[in-house]
A and B are shown apart, each in its own frame.
Chain A
Amino acid sequence: MKKLLVLLLLAVVGYSLITAMMGVKFGENRLGDPQDEKTVSAYYLNNTTQKLSVSNVITAIVVNYRGLDTLGEVSVLFLASLGLGSILYRKHKEGEEEVAILKPSSQLLQAGSKLIFPAILMLGAYVFIHGHLTPGGGFQGGAIIATGFLLMMMAYQDYRVSHSVLVWVESLAGITFAGIGMWGLLLGNTFLENFLPIGTLNNLFSGGIIPIIYIAVGFKVAAELTGVLDTLLNIKDKH
């Protein structure tokens, strides 16, 4: 019965996908010529710098034109970390001794990673704060920060990141993102509408809501990836 239900569900999903994809011709260039004024890419390339004063067009597309999509992407990451935690979490049984998989690292690596760790954090923060001016953005900066935490976890066996802090950071960042979207709905017409002054091009404080959203995304991604890495590294062998 259960298998039949699953098959039925798969059939429904497959049918809807096929009917949606039938109209799309395979291998056709649907983006069009950027020189052609009627296409979307031409609109983005011509209007982003004047209307939003954002020099990184990709950031403008990701955060402003398709902001709702980015909110979805961030929640996908959240779901992934949640799923990982729920699968790997195991209650510690009484009298069961567990051995960590990680071997202790050398003194040189420990001292060196202590030196490099703040630099990595600063680089990640720089990448997501300047997301609207230079290549990079919230996701990349968050990933860089998570690698810094990974380095510390590898170097020091007993390095722990407090999970409650991670949860707080992640929730606050998510609330900021959604709250800015709701604020746009209140002041303007649409969800995630720009309500701040756009400033002048190439200034740090420009681009309206884009830097704020990217900072929130950076914190959220960093917290999620750090949580995932911490959960993965804490898998224990049974003794």
Chain B
Amino acid sequence: MYIGYGLVLLGSIFLFLGSLGIYRMPDVYNRLQAGTKATTLGAMSLILGVGFIEPEWLIKTLFIVIFIAIANPLSSHALARAAYRANLTPFMKKKMDAYKSEFHQEKKED
């Protein structure tokens, strides 16, 4: 019971921080990482907390948590990749680009 309330509190704090990050961060990549981390952990612990408060829903909430754990990082990965492919420059000047070599290798294979 109290574990559930704690999880709900933790989740709402993370969701709040995530929305703050989306509002505050300067460019796509930063916003993406703030939003993804917050919604993954925030929504997962929030829903799991609801499952602990109402034990009848625990199995359903577990399924939702598993689904979020698969879908959420995947979608943000696709978004970040699309942003990189669209040549969106990061906010700071590029000093290191680990993905560049791999990306060009991929391009040659096309």
Beta-carbon contact of A106 and B81 below 8 Å:
yes
24 contacts between A and B (CB under 8 A): A103-B110, A104-B106, A104-B110, A105-B78, A105-B81, A106-B77, A106-B78, A106-B81, A108-B74, A108-B77, A109-B74, A109-B77, A109-B78, A109-B81, A112-B70, A112-B71, A112-B74, A113-B74, A115-B70, A116-B67, A116-B70, A116-B71, A116-B74, A119-B67
Please measure, in the bound complex, the distance between the C-alpha atom of A145 and the C-alpha atom of B45, giving whole angstroms: 28
Number of A-B contacts (CB under 8 A): 25
Please measure, in the bound complex, the distance between the C-alpha atom of A3 and the C-alpha atom of B74, giving whole angstroms: 53
Report A206 CB to chain B, min CB distance, Å: 23
Please measure, in the bound complex, the distance between the C-alpha atom of A108 and the C-alpha atom of B70, giving whole angstroms: 11
Interface size of A in residues (CB-CB distance below 8 Å): 11
**CB-nearest residue of chain A relative to B67?**
A119
Which residues of A are found within 8 Å of B67, using beta-carbon distances?
A: 116, 119
Q: A105-B78, A105-B81 provided; 19 other pairs, C-beta below 8 A?
A: A103-B85, A103-B110, A104-B106, A104-B110, A106-B77, A106-B78, A106-B81, A108-B74, A108-B77, A109-B77, A109-B78, A109-B81, A112-B71, A115-B70, A116-B67, A116-B70, A116-B71, A116-B74, A119-B67
Interface size of B in residues (CB-CB distance below 8 Å): 10
Which residues of B are found within 8 Å of A106, using beta-carbon distances?
A: 77-78, 81
Report B79 CB to chain A, min CB distance, Å: 11
Which residues of A are found within 8 Å of B74, using beta-carbon distances?
A: 108-109, 112-113, 116
Which residues of B are found within 8 Å of A105, using beta-carbon distances?
A: 78, 81
Which residues in window 39-84 of A have CB below 8 A to B? none
Report B5 CB to chain A, min CB distance, Å: 28
**CB-nearest residue of chain B relative to A99?**
B110
Which residues in window 73-126 of A have CB below 8 A to B? 103-106, 108-109, 112-113, 115-116, 119
Which residues of A are found within 8 Å of B71, using beta-carbon distances?
A: 112, 116
Report B90 CB to chain A, min CB distance, Å: 20
Please measure, in the bound complex, the distance between the C-alpha atom of A113 and the C-alpha atom of B77, giving whole angstroms: 12
Please measure, in the bound complex, the distance between the C-alpha atom of A103 and the C-alpha atom of B77, giving whole angstroms: 15
Which residues of A are found within 8 Å of B85, using beta-carbon distances?
A: 103
Which residues of A are found within 8 Å of B78, using beta-carbon distances?
A: 105-106, 109
The digit string for B27-63, where 1 denotes a CB below 8 A from any CB of A, is 0000000000000000000000000000000000000
Report A154 CB to chain B, min CB distance, Å: 9
Please measure, in the bound complex, the distance between the C-alpha atom of A105 and the C-alpha atom of B106, giving whole angstroms: 11
Please measure, in the bound complex, the distance between the C-alpha atom of A103 and the C-alpha atom of B86, giving whole angstroms: 12
Which residues in window 80-110 of B have CB below 8 A to A? 81, 85, 106, 110
**CB-nearest residue of chain A relative to B107?**
A103
